[in-house]
Amino acid sequence: MMQTVLALETSCDETAAAVVQFKAGKFQILANCIASQAAEHAQWGGVVPEIASRRHLESMPFLVDKALRNSDIGFKQINAIAATVTPGLTGALLVGSITARTLAKLHEIPFLGINHLEGHLSSSFLSENPPIPPYLALLVSGGHTELIHVERNLIYRRVGQSHDDAAGEAFDKVARLLGLSYPGGPSIERIGINGDPKRFPFPKGRVSRPEGGFYPYDFSFSGLKTAVLRKIQKLELLKDKLPLADLAASFEQVVAEVLVERSLKYALDNGIKSLVMVGGVAANNRLRKMMSEEASKKSVAVHIAPKAFCTDNAAMIGTAALLRLNSGTSPSSIELGVSARFQLDHSDLLYQVDAPF
């Protein structure tokens, strides 16, 4: 059976609209349109929520029109309209949610509210070798660093998380310390490609258990950021030019090692033979290479989302919506609002008659 979804994404600073179709057992992207705000937010060193909301409002009508024209699809051919409703910036989420619900009401089409994290996990189904549950997912982005045990499609259990900064957030903060541009991930990768990743042995942050010892699968990047700051301050006292390439490469190396080591530890400890990596930081070449090489040594199959779908996009939201439709999930209430925070493992509540928010 063929199903087609119009999907919208406005959780942070990317306005996106896509038309995604499930046909002959495969997900097909008929249109994937994105308006990035990165250049505008770069002058502030990070996302300004009010500016993001305004730009979403300005761009969304044009992106919806473009997605429909590019896909040559009309509303009569669309089975559902989906939008990210959680987590994210509240004002930004409202733009996509209200647009989707209004169009759904006008055209009498079902509406599906999508958890942004479920969207990221669904991006792995857009690869040439999609995963088959059970698998472990490393979701690593600007706002989230989590290990998620996916026992069956749409059934999630978080087994690891960052207790402070997300990995992507740490990239942004360290980039600012180094005087590099926003977003920090691409800036650090560009300058670090010619650096020595072993020159500065930065610490691998661990999270202490109240009863003693450490959480084996959890993350902490705040101390790493502080260690980079201290190293910069010490080097500046020597009046030498900062070795930016070596600092960037050393930071990037430690982040990759921590993510790979703890992900594979959980997989091996729990007999999981398949690992998925998604999210904006999953586009990092050093991390992709290290995860593939180390997992191969442990006989763990790796499925990494295509780079084009690692950062925020609407194609992944459409894919998540199609997975929901294919599983028999009921549409969301047209009264469903948005929430800045909502746990992934509660996503089924988004499709109940009584909306959770």
Helix/strand/coil (H/E/C) assignment for every residue in 143-176: CCEEEEEEEECCEEEEEEEECCCCHHHHHHHHHH
State which CATH number among 3.30.300.180, 3.30.420.40, 3.40.50.300, 1.10.4190.10 fits the domain covering 132-304: 3.30.420.40
- In this prediction, residue 240 carries a pLDDT of 80
Instruction: Report the percentage of the chain scoring pLDDT > 70.
Output: 100
C-beta atoms surrounding 240 within 10 Å: 8
Domain with CATH 3.30.420.40 in the chain: 3-122+310-351, 132-304
Query: Which runs of consecutive H residues, i.e. helices, occur in the chain?
Result: 38-42, 49-71, 90-107, 116-122, 167-177, 184-192, 222-237, 244-269, 285-297, 314-326
In this structure, the strands spanning 155-161 and 14-23 are unpaired
Evaluate whether 55 touches 87 at the Cβ level (below 8 Å). no
Instruction: Provide the residue type at 342 as one letter.
Output: F
pLDDT digits (tens, 9 = 90+) for 234-280: 999 988 889 999 999 999 999 999 999 999 999 999 999 999 999 99
Q: How confident is the model at residue 45 (pLDDT cuts 50, 70, 90)?
A: confident
- In this prediction, residue 301 carries a pLDDT of 97
- In this prediction, residue 201 carries a pLDDT of 96
Evaluate whether 123 touches 309 at the Cβ level (below 8 Å). yes
Count Cα atoms within 13 angstroms, Cβ side, for 174. 36
What DSSP character marks residue 212? Answer: S
pLDDT digits (tens, 9 = 90+) for 154-193: 999 999 999 999 999 999 999 999 999 999 999 999 999 9
DSSP for 218-232 reads -B--HHHHHHHHHHH
pTM for the structure as a whole: 0.96
What is the spatial distance between Cα 259 and Cα 279, in angstroms, rounded to a whole number?
13
Question: What's the CATH number for 3-122+310-351?
Answer: 3.30.420.40
Q: How confident is the model at residue 81 (pLDDT cuts 50, 70, 90)?
A: very high
Q: How confident is the model at residue 56 (pLDDT cuts 50, 70, 90)?
A: very high
